[in-house]
Amino acid sequence: MTENPTPENQPQNDASERMDIRTIARLANVSIATVSRTINRVPTVNTKMAKRVWDVIEKLDFVPNTQARALVSGRSKLFGLLVSEITNPFFPELIQGFEEIAVENGYEILISSTNHDPKRMSHCIRRMLERKVEGVAIMTFGIEEPLLDQLAKRKVPLVFIDVGPDRPGISVLKVDYHHGIRQAVQHLAALGHRKIAFVSGPMQLHSAQSRLAAYTRSMNECGIVPDPSWIVEGDHTLEGGAAAMEKLLAQENLATAVLCSNDMTAIGVLHKLYRTGKRVPDDISVIGFDDIHIAEVTMPPLTTIQMSRFEIAKAAFDALQSQVESPNALIGKREFNIKTELIVRESTSYPRGTMEHLRKK
């Protein structure tokens, strides 16, 4: 005999019943307003009633509907987070920090990876607007002005990394590229390098320009005028790094060290060098930028300039939060400075043919 389980013999909790604040109110013998207050921990609620409410909520395993809450309160408790390349390990590390802080503060985040595609970026922003994000962190190191307007026009608080317009409601995290890059150049110069190449990021990115400028300035500070052939444009990817190194290798005036705009580039450079049979750091030194986790285990471990993801995530969140919570724009006008710092590992050494006596066998 086929025994069809009928709706009747279901477990006690009748899940079929629609569950909302009203159900809770009825079962706890209070008004829906009281339930709402209880859930929102309004302090004036009578302890006894609150307990009654909580009991019912727990028993029914009730979960309030954020959408309804957001709709009536006007607070979505959502932040957008725009990154350029989620597959570049720098960003997941940043996302992790941002998410953690956001969640701690009762926010959810909508993540989008633009992959440098303006069309995608535009769609992302649109979707964020539809979801009524309360702010967005634009961690793309560069942005198309028109897209920004979409957000700014609606007075959505924004935080940029590195570059962004100076308007009320818009915060900018200023990265001190020069500090770390100068340390890197000086480290190299102290080792005896003069011919220091630079693999930049995509030059349409403001950050790429800033990093390049910091390099040039740092070189000058050491009394070196960089040969233009030492500067080659990469794109922040493994492949870009490898291609850049290939170009560098074809150069007449071969550099003895190469400073890279990010770690992925540096890893690409390392790989190309490996492919060409050059040894790092014996034949050539290389320095990265970011200090992503795997930089510790490249071969050799990468000397790099650290830029703290956590610090960035924290600053970005704080900027957004203060804009949102304080209607007063001035309070939000804090300065956010991100430091960079050289981490010396093993991809840098004396230039070939010098200091042989000092070199570790």
Among 1, 4, 63, 250, binds a second copy (CB under 8 A): 63
Among 10, 14, 15, 33, binds DNA (CB under 7 A): 33
Smaller CB separation from DNA, 22 or 167 = 22
Smaller CB separation from a second copy, 25 or 270 = 270
Closest approach of Cβ 216 to a second copy, in Å? 29
Smaller CB separation from DNA, 37 or 187 = 37
Is the bond into 300 cis (omega within 30 degrees of 0)? yes
Q: Does 272 bind DNA (CB under 7 A)?
A: no
> Stretches 67-75, 254-262, 317-325, 331-339: which one binds a second copy (CB under 8 A)?
67-75
Yes or no: say if 295 and 288 are a contact pair by the CB < 8 Å rule. yes
Integer-rounded Cα Rg, in Å, for the chain is 27
Specify the pairing of strand 303-307 against strand 257-260: unpaired
State how far the alpha carbon of 87 is from the alpha carbons of 50, 84, 112, 114, 274, in Å: 47, 9, 12, 11, 23
* Whole-number Å distance between alpha carbons of 30 and 45: 11
Q: Does 324 bind a second copy (CB under 8 A)?
A: no
Interaction partner, residue 225 (DNA, a second copy, none; CB < 5-8 Å by kind): none
Q: Position 10: which residue type?
A: Q
> Stretches 15-23, 85-93, 216-224, 351-359: which one binds DNA (CB under 7 A)?
15-23
State how far the alpha carbon of 334 is from the alpha carbons of 86, 210, 329, 330, in Å: 28, 22, 10, 8
Q: Position 146: which residue type?
A: P
> Stretches 66-74, 98-106, 278-286, 340-348: which one binds DNA (CB under 7 A)?
66-74
Q: Where are the beta strands (DSSP E) in the chain?
A: 78-83, 108-113, 135-139, 158-161, 170-175, 196-200, 231-233, 257-260, 285-290, 303-307, 336-338, 340-343
> Which residues are bridge partners to 259 per DSSP?
198, 287
Site string for a second copy, 103-132 (x = CB under 8 A): x----xxxxxx---------x--xx-xxxx
Interaction partner, residue 73 (DNA, a second copy, none; CB < 5-8 Å by kind): DNA
Tokens encoding 35: 């339930």
Q: Does 208 bind DNA (CB under 7 A)?
A: no
Smaller CB separation from a second copy, 190 or 274 = 274
Site string for DNA, 67-106 (x = CB under 7 A): -xx-xxxx--------------------------------
> Stretches 225-233, 263-271, 318-326, 332-340: which one binds a second copy (CB under 8 A)?
263-271
Interaction partner, residue 270 (a second copy, DNA, none; CB < 5-8 Å by kind): a second copy
Closest approach of Cβ 63 to a second copy, in Å? 5
* One-character DSSP codes across 171-200: EEEEE-HHHHHHHHHHHHHHHT---EEEEE
Smaller CB separation from DNA, 130 or 166 = 130
> Stretches 1-9, 176-184, 266-274, 349-357: which one binds a second copy (CB under 8 A)?
266-274
Helices and strands in the chain: count of H runs, count of E runs: 12, 12
Closest approach of Cβ 224 to DNA, in Å? 59
Handedness of CA 269, 350, 196, 305 (dihedral sign): positive
Q: Does 91 bind a second copy (CB under 8 A)?
A: yes
- First and final C-alpha spacing in the chain: 83
Tokens encoding 192: 């005896």
